[in-house]
Amino acid sequence: MAEADDVAARIAALAVVAKMVAEADTRERARLLELIRPGARVPAEIAGPDGTLQAIGAVTLSEGKSTRVYEVDDEEAFTAWVEAAHPTEFTAVDRVVGTAAQVVAALRRAAPELLETRREVRQAFRRTVLHDVQYAEWMWVDPTTGEVLDTLPPGVVYKVQSTAPRLMCKTKADAPAIVAAGWKAQRLGIELRA
């Protein structure tokens, strides 16, 4: 049992160290974000035993980017357009119209009178239209007629989604050995707080 106790103690200690390292990582990343601009690439080097710098990788702050994302925001207008231009692009969808108690009782008796069938634009067609306008930047080909269109279909809009710059770290293959030696010699300058 003593061996299990030793292993359990190491696991608990590693959990504590992992938390302390994660907190130190958060602090260091916040500090670097104050010092560099998007697009910057900073070499990562630590002092070796003789004081010379040893490369362990690089940290890059990516550029943020904005992307147009198209979606249907006016279901009636989009459905009317599909009805007029692509009437075969509908599928039947059953919608429950009874109360919860009625539905439970009816489903037990398999009562189809509590279901209402309505037409709904097929999801595959919706995805095709949204995909095509996404990648064609306003000029797109109608998937049924082949007509080149330069306006969005009725009911379709775009929103701009932006991603913030983020730090990315790429390390060299020999970085683990260099960092381990630096850690043992206390040359990393990393502060782990209890």
Do 6 and 60 lie in a common domain? yes
Do 71 and 141 lie in a common domain? yes
Residue 192 lies in a domain: no
Residue 118 lies in a domain: yes
Do 154 and 177 lie in a common domain? no
Q: How would residue 150 be classed by pLDDT, with cut points 50, 70 and 90?
A: confident
Q: What is the mean pLDDT of residues 155-180?
A: 89
Q: What is the mean pLDDT of residues 131-152?
A: 74
Range of the domain at 42: 2-64+164-184
- In DSSP notation, 114-174 reads GEEEEEEE-HHHHHHHHHHHHHHTT-EE-TTT--EE-SPPTTEEEEEEEE---EEEEE-TT
Residue 1 has pLDDT above 80, yes or no: no
Kindly report whether the global pTM for this prediction surpasses the value 0.85.
no
Do 28 and 104 lie in a common domain? no
Within 13 Å of residue 37, how many CA atoms lie on the same side as its CB? Answer: 0
**Could you report the per-residue pLDDT of 35-82, keeping only the tens digit for each?**
999 999 999 999 888 889 999 999 999 988 888 888 999 999 999 999
